[in-house]
Amino acid sequence: DSGVTQTPKHLITATGQRVTLRCSPRSGDLSVYWYQQSLDQGLQFLIQYYNGEERAKGNILERFSAQQFPDLHSELNLSSLELGDSALYFCASSGMGNTDTQYFGPGTRLTVL
Amino acid sequence: GESVGLHLPTLSVQEGDNSIINCAYSNSASDYFIWYKQESGKGPQFIIDIRSNMDKRQGQRVTVLLNKTVKHLSLQIAATQPGDSAVYFCAEKERAAGNKLTFGGGTRVLVKP
């Protein structure tokens, strides 16, 4: 158990809908990262938050957004969902240093029908 | 469990033998490298890391080798056990560019009893 929690574990929804994925980082970690894992693209970095502020952006679509709250949990919002958004979404957390290990949560499996 | 990737290279190894997993990275400015293990239905789990000022680092039953000249990373697992069956990912980071991890495509390791 990495100490990172994600809910829900599975999510099934329809095209055009909006969903919210939730992540709680390890105790004491200020950085939260979101990654998408699909069969054809592998693990792709989406976005990073540090202590409530956006720190880095990767291959995140404009239909997707994220935020980190004062209690350090983070939410990833996916809107106008398309079939191609079906994937595993992972959250990771780390400490402040730039070699601090990123610990991954168990993921949320999103299926868009 | 979920399938991480349908077209991953696969390494079949006899239980008790040593495994070597290879990874070619792309960014010559990357200076921090990590190996993750992902079991079916779970998030990536940290195995070992190495900084670019080193060429070898050992952990418990694992060794990572780094060859910056040819941009190659390898993970050696000694006395491979059935519990080592998983998908293994290398990841790279350019620390000056932030904490974003760039993942390789992954290698599936199957341990035969």
What average pLDDT does range B8-24 have in this prediction?
95
Nearest to A74 by CA among A34, A27, A19, A101: A34
What average pLDDT does range A69-75 have in this prediction?
97
* 3-state helix/strand/coil string of B3-20: CCCCCCCEEEEECCCCEE
CA B68, CA B74: separation in Å to the nearest integer? Answer: 12
Q: Which residue of B has its CA nearest to A40?
A: B5
- Tokens representing B45? 């789990």
pLDDT for A47-67, tens place per residue? 999 999 999 999 899 999 999
Residue A113 contacts residue A13 (beta carbons within 8 Å): yes
Q: Which residue of B has its CA nearest to A33?
A: B100
- In sign, the C-alpha dihedral spanning B67, B35, A103, B6 is positive
3-state secondary structure of A38: strand
3-state secondary structure of A83: helix
DSSP symbol at B59: -
pLDDT for B28-82, tens place per residue? 999 999 999 999 989 999 999 999 999 999 999 999 999 999 999 999 999 999 9
Distance from CA of B4 to the nearest CA of A (A): 6
CA B108, CA A31: separation in Å to the nearest integer? Answer: 29
Facing A45 at nearest CB: one of B49, B101, B106: B101
A:7-66 residues touching chain B, CB 8 A cutoff: 31, 33, 35, 37, 39, 42-45, 48, 55-56, 58
C-alpha count within 13 angstroms, C-beta hemisphere, residue A100 = 18
DSSP symbol at A94: E
Tell me how many residue pairs between chain A and chain B have CB atoms under 8 A apart: 69
